[in-house]
Amino acid sequence: MKALIQRVINANVTVNGELISNIGQGLCVFIGISHNDTPKDMEFMVRKLLSIKLFNDESDKKWKKSVVDADLELLCVSQFTLYNTWKGNKPDFHLAMPGDKSKEFYEQFIQMLRSQYKPDKVKDGVFGAYMQVSIQNDGPVTLELESPVNSGKIKNKNESNENVPLQAEQTLVA
């Protein structure tokens, strides 16, 4: 799994001009799911999104509070384009999990986030829809996070990740 995380003052998702979700201060997280993601990747991503320190504390010290510590909101948006490769000048998405399977995986991910935080603080868009996402980035702070299994080389669908060694920084990840 891959997440593009943006610290925001506010964010919202619309589909066909209809407001689907909106949040105040918190994180807008674009979620990409690769064809070889597992429940362990999902668990890692949920744990990290809820615990990474991206907000100031009461003394205005930077990078001291998580979204949970600060009681803020998350807006998650599924985005298969995060697992693109290039074929000449065109993007290719063969590394992304296929639609039906990724919809189920994404819905489980959202459920896991809600079960480990406050359900009313976790919002999302419409899976597979053509969405418009508006954000007011705070900082700006934009960070990328990838689950350890996939932060090495992503294998083609017919290959296995079993023998991909973890890099040193991956072994230290909480």
- List, by residue number, the catalytic residues: 79-81
Task: List Cβ neighbours of 43 (8 Å cut-off, separation of 6 or more).
Answer: 112
41 and 173 in contact (C-beta within 8 Å)?
no
Angle among Cα 66, 122, 77 to the nearest 5 degrees reads 100
What is the rounded CA–CA span in Å between residue 162 and residue 149?
Answer: 9
Provide the angle, in degrees to the nearest 10, between the axes of the packed helices 39-51 and 99-116.
Answer: 40
What is the rounded CA–CA span in Å between residue 48 and residue 33?
Answer: 16
Q: Which of 87, 133, 79 is nearest to 106 (CA)?
A: 79
